[in-house]
Amino acid sequence: MQNTIQNHIPSQAIPRVVQLLEHDNLVVLVKKERKTRHGDYRKLPNNKHQITINNNLNSYRFLITLVHEIAHFEAYKNYGRFIKPHGLEWKRTFQHLMLPFINPEVFPVDLLPLLARHFKNPKASSDTDVHLALALRQFDAPNNKTFIFELPLGETFQFRNNKIFKKGKKRTKRYECVELATGKVYLFNPNAEVEPIPSKEDVS
């Protein structure tokens, strides 16, 4: 396994990860941050398989993302290419691969119940699990981002594509936010990470 990967995951997870990556036709690359994803998996034209992970993830999120993508590879290998990307085969594979890591030697104790609950039915992204995403964020490097549910109603913010939005009311699960330039309404998950825009009063 590449040394760069070892530098991004909890030390106690390294031996198990080394075992999971012992495939001649599987390549793992650590890349610069991509705004729309933490990692991805794809089969290459030369029959190799490639996993990429963002380099800005904290060690716990990096490990979860890495195992998430390895589960795609294992599900493809075991069930073929016609399965749904995040269907039952992937879910079962992800659960099986992740289970040995969910212990206090790898993760902080306060994360364990959240992980156990999440992996009863893992979603396409751990970001959709508000409680787990918030707990994982405490291990991130400091930045100027916040979750949208933490913003006051009517607050303006900037999102990934640098567009400016104003936070509106919450529907059943997501927030209605208006893009100021166009007036279009978009729905945001509560734990979408955004950059608040200080008001003129705050700046002065």
Domain edge (last residue) among 114, 137, 160: 137
Percent of the chain with pLDDT over 90: 78
Q: Is 39 in the same domain as 103?
A: yes
Buried b (16+ CB within 10 A) or exposed e, 68-101: bbbbbbbbbeeeeeebeebeebbbebbeebbeeb
Domain edge (last residue) among 95, 116, 137: 137
Q: What is the pLDDT of residue 203?
A: 42
Pairing between strand 39-43 and 175-179? Answer: unpaired
DSSP designation for 35: T
Categorize the per-residue pLDDT at 17 as very low, low, confident or very high, splitting at 50, 70 and 90.
very high
Q: Is 108 in the same domain as 196?
A: no
Residue 144 burial (C-beta neighbours within 10 Å; 0-12, 13-18, 19+) = exposed
Cα-based distances in Å from 165 to 123, 143, 153, 174, 184: 27, 19, 12, 14, 9
Rg of the Cα atoms in the chain:
19
**Residue 159's domain spans which residues?**
146-203
Helix residue spans in the chain (DSSP H): 3-6, 14-20, 59-79, 88-98, 112-118, 130-137, 200-203
Q: What is the pLDDT of residue 201?
A: 53
DSSP designation for 120: T
Q: What is the pLDDT of residue 2?
A: 56
Categorize the per-residue pLDDT at 144 as very low, low, confident or very high, splitting at 50, 70 and 90.
confident
Q: What is the pLDDT of residue 204?
A: 45
Number of domains in the chain: 2
Q: What is the pLDDT of residue 136?
A: 95
Q: Please give the torsion angle defined by the CA atoms of residues 10, 13, 15 and 17, in that order, rounded to the nearest 10 degrees.
A: -100
Q: Is 10 in the same domain as 70?
A: yes
Q: Is 35 in the same domain as 7?
A: yes
Task: Please determine, for residue 38, whether its predicted confidence score (pLDDT) is greater than 60.
Answer: yes
Cα-based distances in Å from 152 to 165, 170, 186: 13, 12, 17
